[in-house]
Each structure stands twice: as C-alpha cells, then as structure tokens.
Amino acid sequence: MNALRTLCIALALAFAVPAQADSLPPPKAAEAALWASPRVAQARAELAVQTLNGQGLQRGREEWNVGADVARRSIDSATRDNRAEWGLALSRPLRLPARAAADRALAGAAVAQAEAGLGEALHESGRQLLALWFAWLGEADQAKRWQAQHDVATEQLAVVNARIRLGEAPRAERVNAEAALAQARLQAQQAASRAQQARSRVLAHYPALVVPADLELSAPVPPEGGAEAHVEAALAHNHELAQARRHAARLRAEARQLASQRGVDPSLGVYYRNEGDGDEQVIGLNVGLTLPGPARRYEQHAAEQSSVAAEAAAVALEHRLRQEARADFEAAVAAFADWQLAERAAEAQEEAARLAARAYGLGEGELDSVLMTRRLALETRLQARQAQVVALAAEARLRLDSHRLWSLDLDTVADGRA
C-alpha cells in the first residue's frame, strides 16, 4: 500500500497544473538585452552617422578658397626693366537661404529615418527574443514533464514488484514496467538536452539576459480588445512603417535640395596684388557665378520619381502590415481557445490514468491498461503544455507589437544607451 500511495502522489505531481507565474524575462533585463544586441548596435551606429552628416549639412559645405600667384613682369624698353609681382586671393561660395533651408530639411529627414531604423531594430530584436525565449520555455517544460513521467514509471515499477512479491501479478509484468521506465528515461534525457540547447541559443543571441534554470508557465489570458483596436495600436507604433514613410520623406527632401541647386552658385572674394616691385598695390572684390548644367535637372526629376515610388511602397507596406496585425490577433484568439480545449482533454485523460493506476494497485485491472492510459495522459498533457506555450507567445507578440510589453521608444536613448 505504501508503493500505491507513492505512485498516486507521483501521478498527482506529474499531472498537476503549476501555479501561475510570469513566463517572461523581467522587463528591465529584457530591455537591456535588446539594447545590447548586435542588430540594435548597428542601427545605433547608423543613427550616429546620420546625425553627424546632418550636422555637416546644416552648417553647409561651402569652404574658403585661398589663392596665391607670383610673377615677373618684363618691360621691353631701353632699360629692360624686370619687376617682381605677386598676389593673394580669398573667396568663398555663398549658400542662398533657399538652399540652406533645403539642406536643413534633408538633414532632419535623414536623422528621422535613422531613428525609425533604430526603432525597427529594437522591435525585430524583441520579436527574435520572444521566439527564442518561448522555444526554450517550451522545451524546458517538456523536459520537466518527461522527468515527472520518469518518476511515475519508477514508482510504477515499485508497485509491480510489490504485487509480484505478493503473488498478485505475473513476473512478465516486470518486463513491461522496466521497458516503460527505460523509455521514459530516454525521453527525459533527450528532452533535457533539447532544453539546454534552446537555452544556449537564447544566451548566444542575448548574452546580457539572465535565463533562469527553471521557470513555470503562467496561465494564458485572452487578447485584450478587438482586432481593429489591435491593428490601429500596432500600426501606430510600427517602426517598419515609420521607416518606410521617413525614407519617402528623405527622398522628397533630396529632390527639394536638388531643385535648390538648379540656380546659380554665387561666390564672393577679395584679392590683393603687389605689382611693379611694390610701386602699385591693388585691392579688389571678385564675384563668380557657377551656371548649372542640364544634369541637375535630371537628378532632381530622378529624385522626385524615387520619392513617388517610395511613397507607393509605404502605402503597400501599410496594407500588408494591417493584414498581418489582424491575422496575428486572430491567431492569438485561436491559440487561447486551443489551449482551453487541450487543457480540458488533458485533465480528463489524467483522471483516467489516476483511476487506472489506483485500480491496478488494488489488484484490479491489467498493467497494459495502466501503461496505455498513462501514455495517453502524458501525450495529452504534452500537447496541452505546447498549446499553452503557443498561446503565451501569441499574446506576448501582440503586446510587443502594440508597445505594451517592453519600452522600445527612443526616449531611452537620452539615458545613456546610445
């Protein structure tokens, strides 16, 4: 009877629903891991580049030109005079107000596009983190289920041995119980290996993230609000769409800059000349005009057409993202419903396994029936736990896309991360 009691306790522990816990990494730790990811580091470097380029555009690229000349003047006369002469000149192109405004607009558009790129890198890194995290969480939970099944098989073998000693069961049942234990041991070992590999993949991509050795699955919750509300929230915070729109805005700014360059480029300078061995000294002003050629017109038109194409691409992207956001919400709703059904099926099958094990311990029923019901109970429980992981991952993805999971806004750049 002690072996039977131990088996019942082991079955209860193996099939028990764990207490609710948070299945996600701590928000601060996740945010720190995202900011330290290589993809985000690359986007931060690109933002720094565009910021520096923008500062150069705002100040203008017109530079001072310094010139000097040395000459000797020969005068064909009776005295055959040779006189040394030299001169200095200083000039600088002028940036007209229209061109300065166009340059500032282009600088701002380039920085805005880089900021959107950084936001998109954070978002994509967040998606990757969720995928890797829940892959590990699922494998770790499967490993725990198989370890519990191994414990149950161990206790089942003890019950069989007790019945054999009492003459209530044939010795052949020991072979079946030992085979079930060996299979459970193999499955537990393989599941533990898969869990360790999944954990290593998380740490390989996010070494700054602390991955606990054990983490219970929390109970899934249905997605909040409706599909349309999620679509609008997701698009309002979608950095990919913002990046596409800002790319089009940058191309429009480039077209305006090229349009401003189709005018003349004036330059203003001063010069000084020392002539006739210093007998004559000349100070003057010079004005130059660079007349643009037809190439600038074609460059402007090409930039305008590029901006039109980019705007059309942004519209197409918005349409696709709307469909994907709606599909993600519907998938999350379906995943939650699937988990509920799988959970009820697992509970029913586990109750059947407990009853079969108890009946066998009391001398009723066959071991084959016990092993079969227990195997079915394990399979349904594994399916339910996998459905639970899918539901948790789908709901977390919705919160990530609508910026309700982690803080992925760029105001965190100001606190020293960028």
Kindly state whether residue 172 falls inside one of the protein's structural domains. Answer: yes
Distances (CA, A) of 318 to 98, 111, 235, 315: 33, 22, 8, 5
pLDDT for the residue 197? 93
What tens digit of pLDDT does each residue of 68-79 get? 888 887 776 666
Would you call 33 helix, strand, or coil by DSSP?
Answer: helix
Give the separation between CA 372 and CA 50, rounded to whole angstroms. 65
| Mean per-residue pLDDT over the chain, rounded | 84
More confident residue, 28 or 12: 28
Q: Is residue 91 pLDDT above 80, yes or no? A: yes
Give the separation between CA 120 and CA 135, rounded to whole angstroms. 22
Are 142 and 382 in contact, with CB atoms under 8 Å apart? yes
72-77-80-84 Cα dihedral, nearest 10 degrees: -20
Kindly state whether residue 81 falls inside one of the protein's structural domains. Answer: no
Mean pLDDT confidence for 317-340: 94
Are 83 and 72 in contact, with CB atoms under 8 Å apart? yes
Kindly state whether residue 23 falls inside one of the protein's structural domains. Answer: yes
Q: Is residue 10 pLDDT above 90, yes or no? A: no
Q: Is residue 130 pLDDT above 50, yes or no? A: yes
What tens digit of pLDDT does each residue of 187-246 get? 889 999 999 999 999 999 988 888 887 778 889 999 988 899 999 999 988 889 999 999
- Domain CATH code at residue 183: 1.20.1600.10
pLDDT for the residue 17? 41
- For the chain, give the percent of residues with pLDDT over 70: 90
pLDDT for the residue 145? 86
Segment among 87-91, 164-168, 400-404 with least mean pLDDT: 164-168
Range of the domain at 258: 11-60+96-264+294-415
Would you call 66 helix, strand, or coil by DSSP?
Answer: strand
Q: From 392, 390, 386, 383, select the one nearest 350 (Cα to Cα).
A: 383
Mean pLDDT confidence for 324-348: 94
- Give the number of other Cβ atoms within 10 Å of residue 142's Cβ: 22
More confident residue, 11 or 259: 259
Kindly state whether residue 238 falls inside one of the protein's structural domains. Answer: yes
User: What's the pLDDT band for 111 if we cut at 50, 70, 90?
Assistant: very high
Q: From 305, 288, 299, 306, select the one nearest 262 (Cα to Cα).
A: 299
pLDDT for the residue 409? 64
User: What's the pLDDT band for 14 if we cut at 50, 70, 90?
Assistant: very low
Q: What is the pTM of this model?
A: 0.78
Kindly state whether residue 167 falls inside one of the protein's structural domains. Answer: yes
Kindly state whether residue 248 falls inside one of the protein's structural domains. Answer: yes
Kindly state whether residue 88 falls inside one of the protein's structural domains. Answer: no
CA angle 125, 128, 131 (to 5 degrees): 155
Q: Which residues contact 413 (CB under 8 A, 6 or more apart)?
A: 118
Structural domains of the chain, count? 1
Tokens of 262: 């189709």
Mean pLDDT confidence for 253-280: 84
User: What's the pLDDT band for 311 if we cut at 50, 70, 90?
Assistant: very high
Start-to-end C-alpha separation, the chain: 66
Kindly state whether residue 2 falls inside one of the protein's structural domains. Answer: no
